[in-house]
Structure formats: C-alpha cells, structure tokens
Structure 1
C-alpha cells in the first residue's frame, strides 16, 4: 500500500506537473511547504473520454466534476484533516479524497489482473464449506461459472461443498479465507439472476479488496506519496469515482468561492480586489 511513507528520492518516474518543481519528502500536511509561489507545468496528457459515473446499482454518482475532460494543471497546497488533498487549479480549488482516490487506483489494478484467463492456485488441503441445500443444488448448474472465476468446487453432500482451487490473486490477498468466497458467490446466485450475477459479484469483490490496502483517512502523507497517488489516479480509466460510487474529487470553482464571500456586493463597486 502507498499508505506507508516510503523514500521517493530514488524514484526514476518523471515528476507529475501537479507536484510542483521540487517534490521532496517534506510533510504534505504542512501547506506552506508546497506553496512556494511557483506555477505548476501544464499537463499535456488527456484522459480517455470520461465515462458516466455510476454505482454498481446503475445509479449516477453524485459530486463528480461535470466539465473535466482532462486533468487540469494543479498545485498541491497540502492536506486538510489529513484526509483530503487540497489543490489549486486555474479555475478554483479541488479537494481529493485520498482514500477514495487510492481505492480507485487499487480497484483498476485488481480488475486488470482479474481480466482474461484467471490464474488459479490449488489448495494443498481442500476446504470443506457448509452451505444451504439451495446453494448446494445451484452448484450443479453453476460450477462452470465459478470455475471461470478460478474456483473449482465440487459437491460433497446436500449441505457441504469442497473447494480445491481459488484465484491466485485472492489467495495472495486473503490467504486461507479465499476459499470461503465460493460460498458467498453461491449465496449471490441464490439471491439474484445467475446469468448476470458473475460480473457484478466480481466487481463487488474487487471493490472490497481494493478498500483494505488503500490509504486511509487521518493519514499524513509526504509530498512524494501525494504525487505518486495523483499520477496513478491520472492513469485510471475512471478517475472521478471510487469503485463504490463515491466521488474522488470535488471542485470548488473560483466563482462559487467569490459568491460565498459576497465579493460582488454593491458597495464594492464591482471590484474583486
């Protein structure tokens, strides 16, 4: 996890534009350390077309910027509450939820590893799981669907199934608990339409797996870690929402800030100084 502060001095990756000209490992929670008056370079690389932000239930997410088709040039000012990255753009301020952003990054990395043929790991000791009679019966019809996900499961009796292989990715992340997910999948088949359940279950599963190693709130980050996180978010197919549908970025436009401070009140003569 990038939640651990690491030494970025030997990182050979190019410094992202939003990191400013001097990305050292001083604490990003101190806003003055990043606010040296310099202007960040322009980010030339565009995002892919921004996909519609939707939760797993198909509803559009709330709070994602509506006008971004590229990452604007950003200057990182620091952290607020050790949870949100505070950034300045040409149009105002941006708040980045560091946990939601890292969760999106981890989710897309897991999804990429899970795409195509799934590498499996054979269990040295097959795991027997107690299931309901309905779940055991569904195994006969959906064992191939489980196999495509990397679970080889056979029916031992009317209330027991035996798991012999699990996805290698899940074995790495969950260890011995990976086999128990086969029972959860059978439970999902009972609750929903089996023909459309597999992909949704995998998305939910990967979203949950992405959460655990992600940078947590109330975590002070070094500037190098902030730059790495924003660079990884930039690489995401959908950088605007975490896998559970929460926004990763909230925009505070300059106009809204000025209106909140009532800088256009009549006695001000139209000036904004």
Structure 2
C-alpha cells in the first residue's frame, strides 16, 4: 500500500476521514487509531469544521483492530497490560467519536467487524451501503467484546438483541441493521458517498454549538436520572442562548425568513 493510512480533506465545512488500508479491510493499526483520535480532537476545536464523515476505502469499512505484531497470542504479558491497552487504545478511539463536538456520520462502505462495528455505532448517524455487513466477531475468537461494545449496543437495540449479536457473532446485513435501529439508512452502494455528503452538508449548515450541546445531552441521557437530565438541559439551553446562531434563529423566526447559521 502507498499513501497515508488515514486520508483527510476539508471542504464546505465538512471533514472527511477515510481509513486507507484496503488490503487489510482497514483493520486499525495503533498509528492509524491515534491519527483518527487526533483529527477528531482537532475537528472539535476548528471553527472551519462543522461536520465529520468517517468511511473506508475498498471492500471494508473497518475489520477491527489489527492484531498482527501486538503479541495478542504469544509473548510475555504482565498483569494489567490488556486493560491498560484497552483504556489507552480502543476505548480512547470510541470516546473520541462520542466526545467530538461536531456531528460525526459513519458511511459504512463494507465490512464493519469488532472494533470497526463499534466505531460505526459510536457515530451520531450511520449510513450503510446495502453490501455492508456488521459482525460482533469477538465470540468467534473466544474474546470478550471491547471498544465500548457492551456499552453501545444495549443502548441502541436493548440487552436481548445485544446479547444475540454478541453471543452468536453472526454477520448482520445492512438492511437488518437498519430494521434493528443500528443504522439510520441502508442505501444502494452507489449512493453512499452522495447521501453521506448531503447529510453532512445539512449538518454543516446548521447551528453547530446547538448540535454539539444536543449531542452531549442525548449521549448522557441513558446514564442519568430525570432531575440531573433536566438540570443539564437547562444549563445547555442557557449556554446556547449566548451563541450568535441561537440569536439568528430567533431573529429569523420573528422576521419570517430562513436562518443563516455560521457555527458560532
């Protein structure tokens, strides 16, 4: 393979991130993972970026973590190494998506397995090509799901469905993933890039800070009680009303015209 392992371009306020190891179905190397984390962190702080699209090249979206050369099966291991590796690796990647202050769209172009499936499910919106497959592959390898899977899946499909996926490790079609609520839309393969771009452009034209605060509220909603959730909602609205976009939104309503948001 030639070229960078993560391609990235910004245009029209949309950051496009493309995993670029097609010969390995975009299985994530540590360097690749760190690059994605860095770019997502940068997107949060960059006013020129107002939406993110994450996809892959070739037949795979992401086949999970690349275990070659990691000593996963052989080699000396010290107690605590595995947990530490997860905390600083796969879990940081999933947290980077969940914590990104810009909406992140997964455009799943092919196989999404293990950590790759969880990377997609952590995104705010998920589009999948009809040929895409989602596989909770861990049980096939005698492993416990990681990369936030046991946190994400029950919140998306409920505990029984999550256990079915994780216990059997069967491949899930894009259409079935859509029916279960893991995917927002399953689209023809040739329409994936176009649809992802259209959704990203709509988000990029929206009130960026309001979207960030909405994402934060929704992501926290299943981990808190009503009193805390209501307090967080009130605080978010208080913060948001200081933004130029909120003031533009109210002003455009009064003036009976379409708002022109600038992401500030």
- TM-score w.r.t. length of structure 2: 0.23
Whichever structure has more helix as a proportion of its residues is: 2
Structure number with bigger Rg: 1
Larger RCO, structure (CA 8 Å, separation 6 or more): 1
What TM-score comes out, normalization by structure 1 length?
0.22
